[in-house]
Structures are given as C-alpha cells and as structure tokens.
Amino acid sequence: AGVAKPGAVYLHEADAEAWVRMVRVNLWAMTEVTAAVLPGMVERGRGAIVNIGSGAAEALPSYPLYSVYGASKHRYVAQFSRSLYVEYTGKGIDVQCQAPLYVDTKMVVSMVTWGGYVSQVVMPTPDAYAGAAARCIGHRYPFCLPNLGHRLQMCFNQFVPGRILVVLCFRETLQQRAMHLPRS
C-alpha cells in the first residue's frame, strides 16, 4: 500500500490531515501488519515479508514537492525492512524492501507528465511488475528492484550528478504541480 496524495505540493500547502493519512498508510499500517504476522512466522520458522518502498525516492537525492512521501517510502520502509531482515533472517523469515520506480497505476499515471508513449520496460503494467516482484521473494535480498527496466534506470542514475537529478526532478514535480492546481 502507498499514498502519495496530496501530490506535488509544498509542505505548507496541504492540511495536516493529508500528511497524517499518508503517514498512517505508508508507515503505521505497514508496521502494524508486520508486527501482527511475525509471531506466527517465528513459530513456524519460516515466512516472507515484502514491504514496498519507492524507487523514485531511493534513486533521487531528494524528492521535492513529495517530501513526506519520499521520506516515508524511502527512509522508513527501507530502514525498517533492512533492520528486520537482520533480526529475522536467522529465524527463517525473509524480509525485503522492494522499491519500484514508476508502475502503470492510477497514482503514477496522474503524476507523470512525460506525455506520449512510455515503454512498458520503463513503466511496466501492474501484472508485469507483480510477476517480477514475486520472483524476488525468497532470495534473501534485503533490498530489491525486481523489474529490469527499473534496475537499468537506477544504474543510469548512478552516473548522473545528484545536483542534476535534483534539478530534473524538481522541474518534473513543478510540472505535475501545475497540471493539478485548481484553475482560477
């Protein structure tokens, strides 16, 4: 699960309840469900927990206009999952953070402003991503980018200076913001 609403906004522009909803879904619900299923997995001596982070937040030095989303889906989810991986791998439980970049969902399509054609390698369908994601489970990777296109994008980002990534990202999120602002 994940919530990116209210979308590309400056922090002061959204009401506090929007941020509370995002934190409840992106952090609290994941933590609560994980805590609920772990005792049974420990008792059985096996299990798998897959938490979904954000490849966009992982790939970028900062995620302007998505500060709460980026912080919640990147730092918290990734660190939580990596820590649990260390704690529970010896108990037969595989914990991983999968961090997709763009997947062709309503949330993403409403955000992306590339217009025109986007390859399904770069933005796979939910079914294509789910198949790749399922194949990663059980391989003892605490962090995983299941989709080949996403791995290639992440590798590409390693060669682009952080300042350039931030400028490009901010430009994109400002365009998203402009598309979704109410017309007056």
pLDDT in tens, 137-157: 888 788 888 888 888 888 888
Q: What is the pLDDT of residues 109-123, one digit of tens each?
A: 555 544 544 555 577
* Burial (CB count within 10 angstroms: exposed 0-12, middle 13-18, buried 19+), residue 94: buried
Task: Give per-residue pLDDT as tens, 59-108.
Answer: 888 889 988 888 888 889 999 999 999 999 999 999 999 988 877 776 66
6: cis peptide before it, omega within 30°?
yes
Pick the CATH number of 11-180 from 3.20.10.10, 3.40.50.11540, 3.30.450.20, 3.40.50.720: 3.40.50.720
Every domain of the chain and the residues it spans: 11-180
Catalytic residue numbers, as ranges: 69
